[in-house]
Amino acid sequence: MEIKVSPNRMVLLQLKKQLSMAIRGHKLLKDKQDELMRKFISFIQNYRSRREAIDEMLAEGYRKFLGARAIMSRIELFNATEALPNQIEIKTDEIRIMNTRVPVIELVSMKSHKNYSTITTSASLDASLKDFSEILPVIIKLAELEKRIEILAIELERTRRRVNALEYVLIPTLEDTIHEISMKLGENERATLTRLMKIKDIVRRH
Amino acid sequence: MGDSKYAYPTGALRAKENTIIDRHKINSLADAENEYALLNLLRETIYGDFITEETTPSSFENILSLTFQRECNFIKEITPEPNITNLFFLKYDFFNAKALMKSSILDVQTENLYKDIGLISIDDLKSYINEESKPKLNNALKETLDSIIKDKKNINLFEIETRLDKSYLHYALEQSDHYLLLKDFHKSWIDLTNICSFLRFKLDSDEIELFKYSFVYGGYLEKSVFLNLWKEEMLKSSDFSNRYKSLIETALEEYQKEKTLEIMEKGKDNFLLKKLQNAKYLSFAPEPFYAFLLARENEIKILRILFVGMINKMSREKIRKMLRVSYV
């Protein structure tokens, strides 16, 4: 594919400048893509290990909760857990990874009060609620990672599209156009030279 | 008059006692292939009256509560001394009071979260808590509710619930003063409640202040026994009382292995039921009526364990480990 331009030296110079910038941009974007991919993979690995840990913790918490459910009726259990959870303070911020803004979510404090009497409730309820409150900070971290992964995935896709556009469209087009203009200018030069030689020959004969 | 007022009710009660699911039947229920088979087996018992062709295992709570309500109504009708059986029903008034108090403080509407087995209607209790009217309440409940309403702004939900639970236990003990078996039962109930609270607060959260608040006076074990043991690294069953030695020993062993107090709670339920099993041999006394209600409540707990366990695919071993003993 070529760009429709008038084949002159001015345009050639402009196109050459554009090509060198496109090559430089391509290199930068390629580096950005590589670094984003490296970060993305490390987040994914981190996410997987945390997710597995959370699944185990949740299974354990639910196992204990089931123990309480087997002892207490639905109404008793609902009344005991009615006012849960307690006060949670979360701080959110943003950091930049390769100029991409990703969130930082931090659990500042978590005050847990017992909101039910221990006289008429099962100890398994304490144990399961304790497990669930221990899971909460990990879940918050997991949410942060999930959001970061989502943002990085979008950014990666965008960068990949840019890199491909430069690599497979803009740079080849510029190179083709430059080549075409160079050929045209060369041909013009040769035509002028031939014309001059012919004129010189006619002048010499007369 | 004396014994004659017990003649018909005791006969009717003995007949009713035959409908309590015995341990052999519990074993066969526990061996059921799944929750559907369990439901089918239950059709052969008094619970079958509330099981239709459309009933599914997930509606087990409904079956259990309807049956229990019917049994409670039966006892309310025949009991010759309601002041003793009312102690049992009063527990549900206290429960409803806790639920209503909580809803009032949290300002949430909680329909269908009350138990219709108590002595006072939910509407009356609600209007008393909301200070709209002053219906007649049990004295202990009234005093506790008044003190809570007075301190409403300064106390938390844990304190509200604990105050009501403690008040119920004190009242039950006080009322059973002239009935040796019931008095011993309530004293043991208080002790075992204190032991459970102690283990829960010490082993799981190390919160002595909450334990002090939860401690219920009136049992055989003094508060000082528990407070002296608070600093002990390794608890021994002999530290408490010989009365509960084997129960606590098993519970502590289990806690070391599994980090759970399920065995302690099971031991507590079994211990209390066994205490009242002797009521079966009393012919002209109110205790058998109270014991029957407790036995039915215990049976419902067993069935709930079976249903919850089977619906949620708990292991057979785990389900059997949680099962309580039967009254018969």
List pLDDT tens digits, range B66-102.
999 999 999 999 998 898 999 999 999 999 999 999 8
Q: Kindly indicate the confidence band of residue A195, based on its pLDDT and cuts at 50, 70 and 90.
A: very high
Q: Do A82 and B106 touch (CB under 8 A)?
A: yes
Kindly indicate the confidence band of residue A95, based on its pLDDT and cuts at 50, 70 and 90. very high
Which of A71, A116, A117 to mutate to test binding with chain B, by most B CBs within 10 Å of its CB? A117
Closest partner residue to A117 (CB to CB) among B158, B205, B312 is B158
Residues of B in Cβ contact (< 8 Å) with A67: 260, 262, 322
Contact call for residues A174 and A15 (beta carbons, < 8 A): yes
User: Residue B298 to residues A84, A88, B156, B295, B324: CA-CA distances in angstroms?
Assistant: 28, 38, 31, 5, 7
CB contact under 8 A, A73 and B304: yes
Interface test with B, best of A75, A78, A84, A133 (most B CBs within 10 A): A75
Query: Beta strands A87-97 and A100-111: pairing type?
Result: antiparallel
Across chain A, mean pLDDT equals 92
Collect all residues of chain B within an 8 Å Cβ-Cβ radius of residue A59.
none
Is B158's CB within 8 Å of A123's CB?
no
Is pLDDT at A112 greater than 80 in this prediction?
no
- Whether the complex's predicted ipTM is more than 0.85 is answered with yes
Would you tell me which CATH number, out of the four given (1.20.1690, 2.60.40, 1.10.3470, 1.10.357), belongs to the domain B180-285? 1.20.1690
Question: Whole-model pTM?
Answer: 0.83
The per-residue pLDDT for A85 is: 56
Residue A175, token pair as written in the block: 């190179």
Whole-number pLDDT of residue A20? 97
Name the residue with higher pLDDT: B17 or B233. Answer: B17
Q: Which residue of A has its CA nearest to B190?
A: A119
Give the angle B270-B276-B282 at the CA atoms, nearest 5°: 155
- Residue B233, pLDDT > 80, answer no
Which pLDDT score, from 0 to 100, does residue A37 have? 95
What confidence score (pLDDT) does residue B236 get? 78
Q: Is there a contact between A73 and B95 if contact means CB atoms under 8 Å apart?
A: no
Residue-level pLDDT at A46 = 93
- B145-162 in b/e form (b: 16+ CB < 10 A) is beebeeeeeeeebbbbbb
Q: Which CB contacts under 8 angstroms, 24+ apart, belong to A98-103? A: A98/A32, A98/A35, A98/A36, A98/A39, A98/A155, A99/A32, A100/A36, A100/A151, A100/A152, A100/A155, A101/A151, A102/A147, A102/A148, A102/A151, A102/A152, A103/A144, A103/A147, A103/A148, A103/A151
| pLDDT of B32 higher than 60 | yes
Nearest CB among B64, B158, B259 relative to A113 is that of B158
Q: Has residue A206 got a pLDDT over 90? A: no
Sorting pLDDT into bands at 50, 70 and 90, what band is B147? very high
Contacts across the A-B interface (CB distance below 8 Å): 107
Pick the CATH number of B1-81+286-328 from 1.10.1660.10, 1.10.132.50, 3.90.950.10, 3.40.50.300: 1.10.132.50
Kindly list the residues from chain B whose CB atom is less than 8 angstroms away from the CB atom of residue A74: 61
Q: Do residue A114 and residue B312 have CB atoms under 8 angstroms apart?
A: no
A120 to B95: CB separation less than 8 angstroms, yes or no: yes
Q: Which residues of chain B are within 8 Å of residue A124 when distances are taken between CB atoms? A: 260-262
CA proximity to B64, closest of B276, B280, B230, B302: B302
Residues in chain A within 8 Å Cβ distance of B215: none
pLDDT in tens, B257-295: 888 899 999 999 999 999 999 888 888 889 999 999 999
Domain B82-175, what architecture? Up-down Bundle (1.20)
Residue A4's pLDDT band, with cuts at 50, 70 and 90, is confident
CA distance B160 to B80: 34
Q: Is the pLDDT of residue B2 over 60?
A: no
Q: Under an 8 A CB cutoff, do B259 and A127 touch?
A: yes
Distance in Å, alpha carbon of B221 to nearest chain A alpha carbon? 16
Q: Is the separation of the CB atoms in B96 and B89 below 8 Å?
A: no
A190 at B interface, C-beta within 8 A: no
Best B163, B194, B200 residue to mutate vs chain A (most A CBs within 10 Å):
B200
Q: What is the pLDDT of residue A86?
A: 64
List all residues of chain A from 37 to 56 with a beta carbon under 8 Å from chain B: none
Banded pLDDT at A148 (limits 50, 70, 90): very high
Q: How far is B8 from chain A (nearest CA, A)?
A: 33
CB contact under 8 A, B260 and A64: yes
Where in chain B are all domains bearing CATH 1.20.1690?
A: 82-175, 180-285
Q: What does residue A88 show for φ and ψ, rounded to 5 degrees?
A: -125, 135
Q: What percent of chain B has pLDDT over 70?
A: 99
Residue among A69, A117, A122 minimizing CB distance to B265:
A122
